[in-house]
């Protein structure tokens, strides 16, 4: 189960990364129909106004859903059949069920994205749903190695609250990142029937303002990460928590360097892809940091029932 959970984490991270490559290469409508690629073909085929490269980039990303479904299904079956002490772990069953159900939901949302011609709100929802599924996979990977008893904090309560706040702010950062991309020039373009390039719908926000807000939240995340590194370093804390706090801080430094570089170089698609992909890795580190600040012990075994006393007057065997 632990191996399948890790495989699910990797698979979901990869498909988020490749999905962003689809958008940044303007391949979102490379397959302009759903669930088929085109109105007349299930596989990649030429479509008016689309290049062959765009079609195969989009179709290739769709194909990645098959191994994702297989891994998610196997993880769910493994958790469903895991019965320590003859009793099924409900927490693991629900977490693992989120993986195949999430893939199904993603297929539906992805179809809506295509049919609405890359509506930016639907594209944002598509990305954020993937991030939520990835979070479920990360939590499952950790919970497989734990008991199902109540959570017990391993660090000071203020540090645990800071770690939880960092998770919430990172989720906000990812959400705002979709708004920035959906507002800017990389929201996507298509070729019309005449071969002219035209933009897809975009959010109507001032790009400079949403970008500045995105950067401000990044600085706040950096302050939280520094506080956690110091707090975990100089108070009793698990080694794993200290390690993940440093990884989060390093990830934020990479994000800042790439983010500012791409902004001042007029958003080259390659750097934006690096920025988004590293944000996926950062999201995993932030979740693991929070989860490493607590532990769950096994539930106490139920005491065996005492044998009942014989009824008064009944014969007692010798």
pTM of the model: 0.87
Across the range 12-19, mean pLDDT stands at: 90
Given a cut of 50, is residue 316 above it in pLDDT?
no
Q: What's the token pair of residue 310?
A: 């014989």
> Does residue 35 have a cis peptide bond before it, meaning omega lies within 30 degrees of 0?
yes
Query: Given pLDDT bands bounded at 50, 70 and 90, which one contains residue 48?
Result: low
Task: Report d(CA 297, CA 188) in Å as an integer.
Answer: 48
Q: Return the pLDDT at 120.
A: 86
The pLDDT assigned to 65 comes to 84
199 against 21, higher pLDDT: 21
Average pLDDT over residues 296-315: 58
In the block, which residue shows the tokens 């959010």? 203
Give the mean pLDDT of 258-287: 91
Q: Is the pLDDT of residue 78 over 70?
A: yes
Give the count of beta carbons closer than 10 Å to the beta carbon of residue 53. 12
Which of 34-43, 159-168, 223-232, 244-253 shows the lowest mean pLDDT across its residues?
Answer: 34-43
Tell me what pLDDT residue 288 has.
97
CB atoms within 10 A of CB 62: 20
Residues 100 and 89: their CA atoms lie apart, in Å, by 18
Across residues 182-205, what is the average pLDDT?
69
Tens digits of residue pLDDT in 91-116: 999 999 999 999 899 889 988 988 88
CB 227 within 8 A of CB 264: no
Task: Report pLDDT for 251.
Answer: 96
pLDDT of residue 137: 96
Q: How confident is the model at residue 62 (pLDDT cuts 50, 70, 90)?
A: confident
Work out the average pLDDT over 228-240.
94
Beta strands in the chain (DSSP E): 151-153, 189-191, 197-199, 294-296
CB 104 within 8 A of CB 171: no
Tens-digit pLDDT profile for residues 132-181: 999 999 999 999 988 888 889 999 999 999 999 999 999 999 999 999 98
Mean pLDDT taken over the chain: 86
């Amino acid at each position: 189960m632990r191996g399948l959970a890790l495989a699910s984490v990797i698979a979901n991270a990869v498909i988020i990364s490749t999905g962003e490559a689809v958008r940044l290469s303007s391949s979102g409508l490379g397959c302009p129909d759903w669930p088929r690629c085109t109105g007349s073909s299930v596989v990649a085929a030429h479509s008016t106004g689309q290049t062959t490269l765009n079609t195969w980039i989009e179709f290739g990303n769709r194909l990645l859903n098959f191994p994702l479904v297989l891994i998610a299904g196997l993880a769910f079956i493994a958790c469903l059949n895991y019965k320590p002490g003859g009793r099924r772990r409900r927490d693991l069953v629900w977490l693992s069920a989120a993986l195949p159900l999430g893939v199904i939901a993603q297929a539906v949302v992805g179809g809506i994205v295509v049919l609405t011609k890359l509506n930016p709100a639907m594209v944002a929802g598509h990305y954020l749903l993937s991030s939520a599924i990835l979070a479920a996979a990360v939590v499952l990977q950790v919970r497989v190695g734990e008991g199902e008893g109540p959570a017990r904090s391993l660090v000071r309560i203020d540090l645990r609250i800071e770690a939880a706040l960092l998770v919430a702010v990172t989720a906000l950062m990812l959400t705002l990142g979709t708004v920035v991309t959906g507002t800017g020039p990389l929201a996507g373009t298509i070729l019309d029937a005449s071969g002219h390039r035209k933009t897809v719908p975009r959010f109507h926000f001032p790009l400079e303002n949403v970008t500045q807000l995105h950067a401000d939240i990044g600085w706040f995340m950096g302050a939280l990460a520094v506080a956690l590194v110091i707090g975990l370093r100089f108070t009793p804390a698990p080694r794993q928590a200290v390690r993940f706090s440093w990884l989060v801080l390093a990830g934020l430094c990479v994000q800042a360097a790439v983010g500012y570089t791409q902004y001042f170089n007029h958003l080259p698609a390659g750097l934006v892809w690096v920025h988004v992909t590293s944000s996926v890795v950062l999201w995993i580190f932030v979740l693991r940091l929070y989860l490493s600040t607590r532990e769950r012990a096994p539930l106490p075994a139920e005491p065996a029932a005492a044998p009942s006393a014989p009824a008064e007057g009944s014969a007692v065997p010798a």
